């Protein structure tokens, strides 16, 4: 049983994104098992809940017991889903009760609150626009509004990191590519000097950089291993010279890079 | 006690992103309470865990009992954190045990698995590059590789939605702005016709659109209410004429828009 493919259902009366995030984190702890996922969001009616149960039970008949990760706020929906032949992991009910007791108040059971349009949301959208406008050194007019300015050689991971910081945390992140010229002179570009406290460097293993550049611009000087080695070596020297914090992105995800940047800059964004 | 500001700690030996996501979802159910958050990621040593406990206990001394949302895989770290004077909500331990029993196997307790660089991750980075290259009708060379092509008037929310679809789900999303010309002729742009099955429309309330455009280009024809009303009316007529699925983004978050798009297109991306 431990080696067959297990079917995972993410069931929600909202988007199901919270169920997916926690479910994914938990299941990555069972590397020897293969999973397939089925997401059923926006369950609003008893009919939709019963349809989901039928789908779960059909899967149960065909193989091993499915697993349900559920975020259901409506007790009626939750009851229907709980009747299925799955292992039912109820993320909200498990933790809402101790929180209600702690706060000495009932939760609102209002659906769609976690991914809604509010001040924190609008700030995140603003941050995405900021990241796009200040991507790749295109503009540095509003660097004074930036929470962080990423620097690094071309294709070291600056853009996805800025977008993730914006999307997930509403952090205003610009990025500036360190070019051959900057690297040769071993100096920080002039427009970055007033913002030295906001700078965070990215670096990457030269052979990985070479592979990424090769896909973009095959067999060029830009994508040669010698050029990649030179740029990485010089840029790391520059980071050390100017005492910039930096991280190697070769085997580090944008989530991990972003977490390190926030930790270093002591940025904690209001979530509510 | 119910109206004072509560301090929430997100404690993790990884990024803490999973703890934040579930914690945020749960706490939005208590609208009458104000929260401040403290994130402590990357706890690797007993000293770091003890420092976190000291910080939590300091907060406990100053006000009401703090809440800890923890994702800790190392039992030694978990034990130390559990000794703090907080309400300790342990996201992993709660669900790992039933899963271990279900799978009849021990979990790996390997840290940093949920936000790691693997095939699914590389696909997400590819999808971000795809979204940037195919943003705002810049390019339509690889529309055949798109999972979905968003259409809508300028500033209706296409770009953040595409980036979210890419970042969160690894979905290849392009977007194409419907201009005055397309709207006047009441026809879909020619290059979209072969991909009609991939199209998804965004619309927005004219007064909201006017506000957004006003910030970008004040007192122009583009940002006049009359122009916004005209464009929205015509574009919705176009969606109906071509039977395109569409959604109103006025009070809908990118998470909710993305979920509706995936549901409509029946897209379920491998997460593992």
Tens digits of residue pLDDT in B117-148: 999 999 999 999 999 999 999 998 899 999 99
Q: Which of B96, B102, B247 to mutate to test the interface with A (most CBs of A within 10 A)?
A: B102
Longest Cα separation, chain B: 69
Q: Which of A6, A8, A15, A261 to mutate to test the interface with B (most CBs of B within 10 A)?
A: A15
User: How close B205 comes to chain A (CA, Å)?
Assistant: 14
Q: Which of A255, A261, A270 to mutate to test the interface with B (most CBs of B within 10 A)?
A: A255
pLDDT tens string A53-82: 999 999 999 889 999 999 999 999 999 999
pLDDT tens string A108-148: 988 888 888 999 999 999 999 999 999 999 999 899 999 99
Please indicate whether, in this complex, the C-beta atoms of A15 and B164 are within 8 angstroms of each other: no
Q: What pLDDT does residue A1 have? A: 41
Mean of all residue pLDDT scores within chain A? 94
As for the ipTM of the complex, it is: 0.94
Please indicate whether, in this complex, the C-beta atoms of A255 and B125 are within 8 angstroms of each other: no
* Distance (Å, whole) CA A221 – CA A209: 13
Please indicate whether, in this complex, the C-beta atoms of A2 and B104 are within 8 angstroms of each other: yes
Q: Where is B199: in which H helix or E strand?
A: strand B199-203
Q: Where is B89: in which H helix or E strand?
A: strand B87-90
Ordered alpha helix ranges (H), B13-157: 17-27, 46-62, 75-82, 91-103, 119-133
* Distance (Å, whole) CA B198 – CA A258: 32
Residue B62: pLDDT band with limits 50, 70, 90: confident
Q: What pLDDT does residue B4 have? A: 65
User: Which residue reads 């030996």 in tokens?
Assistant: B13
* Distance (Å, whole) CA A213 – CA A229: 12
pLDDT tens string B202-261: 999 999 999 999 998 999 999 999 999 999 999 999 999 999 999 999 999 999 999 999
* Distance (Å, whole) CA B214 – CA B55: 46
* Distance (Å, whole) CA A94 – CA B96: 14
B169 pLDDT more than 90: yes
pLDDT tens string A169-216: 999 999 999 988 888 888 999 999 999 999 999 999 999 999 999 998
The number of residues making up chain A comes to 272
Q: What pLDDT does residue A102 have? A: 95
- Point out the residue among B92, B95, B259 whose CB comes nearest to the CB of A15: B259
What is residue B66's DSSP assignment?
A: P
Q: What is the DSSP string of B137-167?
A: GS--TTGGG-SEEEEESTTSSHHHHHHHHHH
Q: Higher-confidence residue: A4 or B151?
A: B151
Neighbours of B38 (CB within 10 A): 16
% of chain B exceeding 90 in pLDDT: 85
Residue B3: pLDDT band with limits 50, 70, 90: very low
The torsion angle over the Cα atoms of residues A55, A58, A59 and A64, rounded to 10 degrees, is 140
* Distance (Å, whole) CA B150 – CA B202: 7
Q: What pLDDT does residue A28 have? A: 94
Give CA separation, A191 vs A143, A176, A187, A245, in Å: 9, 10, 11, 19
Mean of all residue pLDDT scores within chain B? 94
Contacts of B92 in chain A (CB under 8 A): 25-26, 29
- Which of helix, strand or coil describes residue A34? strand
**A95 near B CB under 8 A:** yes
Mean pLDDT, residues B172-197 taken together:
92
* Distance (Å, whole) CA A28 – CA B96: 11
Please indicate whether, in this complex, the C-beta atoms of A42 and B159 are within 8 angstroms of each other: no
**B93 near A CB under 8 A:** no
Q: Where is B215: in which H helix or E strand?
A: helix B206-216
- Point out the residue among A41, A117, A132 whose CB comes nearest to the CB of B252: A117
Please indicate whether, in this complex, the C-beta atoms of B42 and A107 are within 8 angstroms of each other: no
Scan residues 3-62 of B and list those with Cβ closer than 8 Å to A. Answer: 6, 15-18, 20-22, 24-39, 41-42
Contacts of A270 in chain B (CB under 8 A): 36-37
Total beta-carbon pairs less than 8 A apart between chain A and chain B: 210
Q: What pLDDT does residue A113 have? A: 85
Please indicate whether, in this complex, the C-beta atoms of B271 and A20 are within 8 angstroms of each other: yes
> Which structure tokens are listed for A60?
């149960």
Q: What pLDDT does residue B83 have? A: 97
Please indicate whether, in this complex, the C-beta atoms of A17 and B21 are within 8 angstroms of each other: yes
Contacts of B15 in chain A (CB under 8 A): 255-256, 258-259
Angle CA(B157)–CA(B162)–CA(B166) in degrees, nearest 5? 150
Look at A180-194, A212-226, B33-47, B141-155 and tell me which has the smallest mean pLDDT: A180-194
- Point out the residue among B268, B270, B272 whose CB comes nearest to the CB of A27: B272
Please indicate whether, in this complex, the C-beta atoms of B105 and A2 are within 8 angstroms of each other: yes
Q: What are phi and psi of B144, to 5 degrees?
A: -65, -25
Angle between helices A91-103 and A17-27 (to 10 degrees): 110
Residue B151 near residue B201 (C-beta atoms within 8 A):
yes
**A255 near B CB under 8 A:** yes
Q: Nearest-CA residue of chain B relative to A127?
A: B160
Look at B98-102, B164-168, B185-189 and tell me which has the smallest mean pLDDT: B185-189
Neighbours of A31 (CB within 10 A): 12
**A219 near B CB under 8 A:** no
pLDDT tens string A141-168: 899 999 999 999 999 999 999 999 999 9
Q: What pLDDT does residue B143 have? A: 96
A15 pLDDT more than 60: yes
A230 pLDDT more than 90: yes
* Distance (Å, whole) CA A135 – CA A129: 10
Q: What pLDDT does residue A3 have? A: 41
Q: What pLDDT does residue A103 have? A: 94
Mean pLDDT, residues A225-232 taken together:
96
User: How close A143 comes to chain B (CA, Å)?
Assistant: 18
Q: What is the DSSP string of A35-90?
A: EEEEEE----SHHHHHHHHHHHHHHHHHSSPPEEEEE--SHHHHHHHHTSSSEEEE
Please indicate whether, in this complex, the C-beta atoms of B164 and A160 are within 8 angstroms of each other: no
Ordered alpha helix ranges (H), A63-196: 75-82, 91-103, 119-133, 158-169, 180-185
Please indicate whether, in this complex, the C-beta atoms of A91 and B22 are within 8 angstroms of each other: yes
Please indicate whether, in this complex, the C-beta atoms of A24 and B114 are within 8 angstroms of each other: yes
**Residues in CB range of B58: below 8 A, 6 or more apart:** none
Scan residues 98-117 of B and list those with Cβ closer than 8 Å to A. Answer: 98-99, 102-105, 107-110, 112-117
């Amino acid at each position: 049983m431990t080696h067959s493919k297990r079917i995972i259902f993410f069931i929600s009366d909202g988007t199901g994104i919270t169920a997916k995030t926690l479910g994914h984190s938990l299941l990555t702890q069972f590397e020897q098992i293969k999973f397939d996922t089925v997401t059923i969001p926006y369950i609003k009616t008893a009919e939709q809940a019963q349809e989901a149960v039928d789908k779960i039970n059909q899967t149960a008949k065909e193989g091993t017991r499915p697993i349900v990760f559920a975020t259901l706020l409506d007790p009626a929906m939750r009851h229907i889903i709980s009747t299925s032949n799955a292992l039912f992991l109820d993320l909200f009910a498990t933790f809402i009760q101790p929180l209600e007791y702690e706060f000495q108040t009932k939760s609102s059971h209002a659906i769609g609150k976690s991914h809604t349009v509010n001040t924190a949301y609008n700030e995140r959208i603003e941050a995405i626009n900021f990241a796009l406008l200040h991507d790749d050194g295109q503009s540095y007019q509003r660097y004074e509004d930036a929470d962080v300015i990423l620097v690094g050689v071309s294709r070291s991971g600056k853009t996805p990191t800025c977008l993730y910081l914006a999307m997930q945390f509403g952090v205003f992140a610009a990025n500036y590519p360190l070019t051959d010229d900057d690297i040769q002179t071993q100096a920080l570009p002039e427009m970055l000097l007033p913002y030295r406290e906001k700078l965070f460097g990215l670096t990457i293993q030269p052979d990985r950089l070479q592979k990424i550049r090769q896909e973009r611009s095959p067999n060029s000087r830009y994508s040669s291993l010698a050029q990649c080695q030179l740029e990485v070596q010089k840029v790391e020297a520059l980071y050390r010279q100017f005492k910039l914090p930096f991280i190697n992105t070769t085997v580090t995800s944008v989530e991990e890079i972003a977490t390190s940047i926030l930790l270093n800059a002591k940025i904690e964004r209001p979530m509510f």
